[in-house]
A and B are shown apart, each in its own frame.
Chain A
Amino acid sequence: MQNFEYASPTTLHDALALLASKWGETDVLAGGTDEISLMKDFLHTPKRVVNIKGVKELGGIGRTAQGLRIGATATFDELASNASIHSEYPSLHSAVMGVTSPQIRNMGTAGGDLCQRPRCWYFRRGFGLLGMQDGKSLVPNGDNRYHSIFGNGPAYFVNPSSLAPALIALGAKVKLVSPSGQRVVPLEKFFVSPQSESTRETALLPNEILTEIEVPAARGIKNATYEVRHKEALDWPLVTASVALQMSGSTVGQAHVVLGHVAPTPWVATEAQSALVGKALSPDVIEQAAKAAVAGAQPLSGNSYKVKLAIVAVKRALLEASGRA
């Protein structure tokens, strides 16, 4: 990796003061499970690395009047052992446990999970976020078995976050703080599909730190996550589906269905949501909603199987949420 200046501030104020206003100058380090690899592969070559693990106010998980606050540096292990998450947010707990490596759970953080870079192998081999060679994306004619089936072009990578589908379905927001103030952004809006090589895949600005995640209370909300993973051992999901259903009597009042690993951003399956609202959760309704989830899918040359997986993931998440699994 390239040499860099290392800072380990203990207050958010000091941490923010150390950041630059341009991408590439400074990087934030938390668990380091992605950042260190990016640096070793020269994909990130920051002049300064700001470690935020020493900033106490960024850690912890606690109940609030509105629901749950998850500090950016709370680790996956902390998430896994949190009783509130286990009982009230099974979709989140399940997403956490989908990271089947204790080592990664010990080091990886909630904020880092949302801010990690895509795993696209063209990006990781140095062909840029959009995987371009000679002005053309390598993905459509290359090996795209793990790439996107929705929202394709110019980005074809998939959002790698384990937590985002569950958090978006639950209506979570993230707090982004800069030296000049703070903003609270719905997590759904945090992720963007970059239109050019010079833009990033999140709304985070270079001088901002994602400080915390706010998750609304989920009492009475049926929620579940289903990951299709090739391996039991640590492996990226091929497709994830998270659902959160606000019941109104025996029918669905509000439905949130979010897919992961299928698009450059977590993918809100609006047609699946529409297929659920006002209906009882019968096997037929679940089947129809699952099929509706892939409306508009445009698979690439080698990943049409992911369309099938998306249907299955939604179906199984709904079955689990409805208690039928």
Chain B
Amino acid sequence: MANTPDYHWPPMDKRRVMGKRISRLDGIAKSTGAAKYNSDLKPDGMLYGALLSSPYAHAKVKSVDTSAAEKLPGVTAVRVVAPAGTELQWAGAEIAYLAARTEEIANDAVRLIKVDYEVLPHLVNEEDLSKVGNRARPSGEQVTGDTEKAFQEADAIVEGNYGIPVITHCCLEPHGQTIAINGDKAEYWPSTQNVYGIAGDIGRALSIPVANVHVHMDYMGGGFGSKFPADAWGIQSAQLSKESGGKPVKLFLDRATELTIAGNRPSVFSKVKVAGKKDGTLTAWQSETWSTGGVGGGGLTAGQLFPYVFLGVPNRRLNHTAVSTNTAASRAWRAPNHPQVCYITCSALEDLAAKLNMDPLDFFVKNIGYAPEARREIYKYQFQKAAELMDWKKNWHPRGDSAQGPVKRGLGLALSTWGGAGHASTCKTTIHPDASVEVELATQDLGTGTRTMVAMIAAETFGLPLSAIKVKLGDNSYPNSGGSGGSTTIGGVTSSTRKAAVNALQKLFETVAASLSVTPDDLEAVDGRISVKGNPEKGMSFQMACQKLGVNSISEMGANVPQQAPQEGLNTGGVAGVQMADVSVDIETGIVRMNRLVAVQDCGLVVNPKTAESQVFGACIMSVCGALMEERIMDQQIGRVLNPDMEFYKLAGIGDIGEILVHMDIREENDKRGVIGLGEPCAIGGIAAIGNAVANAIGVRVQRVPLTPMRVLSALEGRTA
């Protein structure tokens, strides 16, 4: 066929499935427990894996004796991963893995392993930069313009220290897998964001062809950026299976291990100085920041991204120091670096607005010219929309609620941005002679609704009801659709599905065109029929059309190629969002209660407003946790995490989140940009908005999140919080 098929999304007013508020297809299965997660599985003959980890933050292994563990009846294999001589760099670093017939035997066996350590000095806290000694790694200064001159000419200058600590991913379903290695074949049931790619980790580690590693995952319980590689627990479980006669080995981390070693978000602490003019123009940004992402330093590089979104500020001076600590390595955490940089930026700018006696809403809008041009108008619209939903102009007051009584109310705002263009994705769509339609792609539904989105795109394209589409994902034998990170999945899978479906439909048109005495290009698929464009009477049911295939199915591929995507118009990147918070603070107890969190979020073409809103709701809840409760607490004396549990690693419950109002910014001009990822951008601004609302309520800045009673009361007393 000579012509390139038309892959464009149907115009907004012509869509029959896309854009509708459709409940996720697996909602019932998940809420009834019928959905089986890989951590629920128990294949026949399954063995239990367990691991021994270091109690010390920094130590050299002098010896490891596994003989008693090996002799324990029921233990099938023991593997030492940190033999004598290994330098362990954090508490929780793995030393040995083993497998046993029961979970109890496995745990007993772990306790029989004897390890001698040479304990070495450690550093686990980075908040006080003066105490980190030679663990600081400055990355050099970046200067734009002339900050000194700008400070001299400023009408107002604000200096502040803002800090946001390490938090962990705390996945509800912990990291882990069940895996069976038989000869050169692997059956692998991981909890992963990377169904296709993760097979390679096992293949390489065990020297077996990747094609022989079969990955299965129908559902998963949260990753947030931390679940891409097979990890040591995956590879070692594979080895244990191999050494145990090929029996499946299951190892999912316990809660303490999950919170200690399975991923965390780098901290950022800062000293910031900003300057502005009386009219509210921001003129200079200067920041000295430091952070830790574990022993490798990590975190930000060279103070990138400051001042968040307002990168066009003419005078900037940035210094950043990575601090190496004896803590487990950080991993990508839902919008890497953005929540931290947003928090610090929006806090400092709000402080400057307060100093200038300006409503921060006016201040942010005034300076929106420093934001990338493509998004300035979107931000303006979103600020207006969010202000409307918050009744901002009525409810906002200058710093410090003057109301009687101990409960003070305040409003705060923030803004966010992200890329989120679709990743490379391939999809295979098959139309069977019985009119059933299958869509296959090796992507994964992290709980975000990917399965539902793929079905919607196919149903839209084929003019069929959702129930006619069978989506097959979560299996690496399907075409590669990449890992789910960076909010790239939705753009990728909707584009590849659209193209595969259009290609398959074209073949169906070619099959039936002659019988209708038209050319394939004259046909369209609408409401379960294949008919002639502009003449719906002339046609046949989709079912009858498929019968004409005889015994042959149609199978067509579709691919999203990121370099071509912008020209095709199916997906692009770059989004804007605005968050506003309304809080009440009891100044006698320091307790912050959420009244309302408003999120106005753009993500281009919104495939399903209902699931999109759900994703924003989830992000808002994460923001409440991050703003008010969550922090990893390290003890320098013992070098360990003090709160690797669900009682002191605090997360919000339903009574803590207040009212959450989500407005998806669905407008023709945004829709034209095609599909863009949503997972990350909506998880950025909430913390900053809540922090600003607290400052507005109580009249002073609490410098560090989470805004616990301890810090709020200290700030009110005028001490450093």
State the CA gap A141–B636 with chains docked (Å): 9
**Beta-carbon nearest neighbor of B594 in chain A:** A232
Select one of A122, A143, A230, A308 contacting B650, CB under 8 A.
Answer: A230
Within the complex, what minimum Cβ distance (angstroms) separates A254 from chain B?
27
Q: Does B637 contact A (CB under 8 A)?
A: yes
**Beta-carbon nearest neighbor of A138 in chain B:** B637
Interface size class of B (residues with CB under 8 A): 20 to 34
State the CA gap A1–B588 with chains docked (Å): 43
Quick one: CB contact mask for A126-165 with B, threshold 8 Å, 1 for yes?
Answer: 0100000100001001110110000000000000000000
- The answer to whether B654 touches A228, judged by C-beta atoms less than 8 angstroms apart, is no
**Beta-carbon nearest neighbor of A37 in chain B:** B645
State the CA gap A235–B108 with chains docked (Å): 32
- The answer to whether B653 touches A234, judged by C-beta atoms less than 8 angstroms apart, is yes
Chain A residues with Cβ under 8 A from B638's Cβ? 122, 125, 127, 133, 138, 142
State the CA gap A146–B708 with chains docked (Å): 12
Select one of B104, B648, B652, B713 contacting A233, CB under 8 A.
Answer: B652
Select one of B637, B650, B654 contacting A133, CB under 8 A.
Answer: B637
- The answer to whether A146 touches B648, judged by C-beta atoms less than 8 angstroms apart, is yes
Chain A residues with Cβ under 8 A from B708's Cβ? 230
- The answer to whether A232 touches B713, judged by C-beta atoms less than 8 angstroms apart, is no
**Beta-carbon nearest neighbor of B644 in chain A:** A125
- The answer to whether A121 touches B642, judged by C-beta atoms less than 8 angstroms apart, is yes
State the CA gap A1–B628 with chains docked (Å): 34
Q: Does A192 contact B (CB under 8 A)?
A: no
Chain A residues with Cβ under 8 A from B647's Cβ? 119, 234-236
Q: Does B635 contact A (CB under 8 A)?
A: yes
Chain B residues with Cβ under 8 A from A141's Cβ? 637
Quick one: CB contact mask for B132-149 with A, threshold 8 Å, 1 for yes?
Answer: 000000000000000000
Q: Does B336 contact A (CB under 8 A)?
A: no
Q: Does A221 contact B (CB under 8 A)?
A: no
- The answer to whether A312 touches B588, judged by C-beta atoms less than 8 angstroms apart, is yes
- The answer to whether A230 touches B588, judged by C-beta atoms less than 8 angstroms apart, is no
Q: How many A-B residue pairs have CB under 8 A?
A: 82
- The answer to whether B710 touches A121, judged by C-beta atoms less than 8 angstroms apart, is no
- The answer to whether B710 touches A228, judged by C-beta atoms less than 8 angstroms apart, is no
**Beta-carbon nearest neighbor of A311 in chain B:** B588
Chain B residues with Cβ under 8 A from A100's Cβ? 653, 655
- The answer to whether B648 touches A228, judged by C-beta atoms less than 8 angstroms apart, is no
State the CA gap A234–B591 with chains docked (Å): 15
Q: Does A220 contact B (CB under 8 A)?
A: no
Q: Among residues 623 to 664 in chain B, which have CB atoms less than 8 Å away from a CB atom of chain A? A: 628-629, 633, 635-638, 640, 642-643, 645, 647-648, 650-656
State the CA gap A3–B74 with chains docked (Å): 15
Q: Does A305 contact B (CB under 8 A)?
A: yes
Q: Does A18 contact B (CB under 8 A)?
A: no
- The answer to whether A143 touches B642, judged by C-beta atoms less than 8 angstroms apart, is yes
Select one of B104, B640, B714 contacting A125, CB under 8 A.
Answer: B640
- The answer to whether A312 touches B653, judged by C-beta atoms less than 8 angstroms apart, is no
Within the complex, what minimum Cβ distance (angstroms) separates B352 from chain A?
29
Q: Which 6 A-B pairs have the closest CB atoms?
A: A233-B653, A232-B655, A121-B642, A305-B713, A312-B588, A305-B710
Q: Told that A121-B648, A305-B714 touch, could you supply 6 new A-B pairs with CB distance under 8 A?
A: A142-B635, A142-B638, A229-B591, A230-B629, A232-B653, A305-B713
Between-chain CB contacts (< 8 Å), 8 pairs? A138-B635, A143-B633, A145-B710, A146-B648, A302-B710, A305-B710, A308-B588, A308-B713
Residues of B within 8 A of A (CB): 104, 107-108, 111, 588-591, 628-629, 633, 635-638, 640, 642-643, 645, 647-648, 650-656, 708-710, 713-714
